Amino acid sequence: MTTQTKPPPQSSSASNLPVRRFTVAEYYAMSEAGILTEDDRVELLAGVIVEMAPIGSRHGGCVNLYTRWLSQFVGDRAILQVQGAIHLDDDTELQPDLALLRDRPDFYSSSHAEPSDVLLLIEVADSSVDYDRNEKLPRYARAGVPEVWITVLPERIIEAHTEPSGGRYTHTRIFVSGDTIIPGCFPDVALPVSEILPG
């Protein structure tokens, strides 16, 4: 495991063309009108509807491995949400691959989780590494999500980002095969990185 403190990654420059940005309410209105369907793999980031990368077998296998390990170790102390929505603010609703959420009697059936509900978010990145690092991670930091892991499949590493401040995470640790990664919300839970990263 290595530890480093680094400035936030810079977002890629946008086109100078005018862009129509949407609120979360408008985003859901499009779904109700049938413009967006459940088959559309999209999320809303800063008012822009972003098409998500298809889930390949390596990506899906990693999500399944996380699900098995976290379910086993966390149990009923938190709600493990897989590829569900997190409502960050009025113009951003993202879908991380996994989230550990505070327990709630309705299991978030009446409304999506918000940043104050989140204990840990996990992104699994295969072809979406730049998007997860440069676009989604700063939004999580601005919203005050306490801990985000980016599982970078091409590099076979897990980046653990913690201590959000000023719109960025001020502490980043890199975990590789042979390390054990422990979420800040559950210090008794130790996940072997080699068991999380598919071979």
- Whole-model pTM? 0.85
- pLDDT at 61 (0 to 100): 94
Q: Residue 8's pLDDT band (boundaries 50, 70, 90)?
A: very low
Number of domains observed in the structure of the chain: 1
User: pLDDT tens across 94-113, in order?
Assistant: 999 999 999 999 999 999 99
User: pLDDT tens across 22-59, in order?
Assistant: 888 777 788 778 887 777 788 888 888 888 877 889 99
> Which CATH number belongs to the domain containing residue 32 in this structure?
3.90.1570.10
Strand arrangement, sheet containing 147-152: 2-4, 168-176, 157-165, 147-152, 118-125, 98-101, 79-82
- pLDDT at 2 (0 to 100): 52
Residue 173: give the domain boundaries.
2-196
Q: Do β-strands 92-94 and 168-176 pair in parallel, antiparallel, or remain unpaired?
A: unpaired
Q: Does residue 185 register a pLDDT over 90?
A: yes
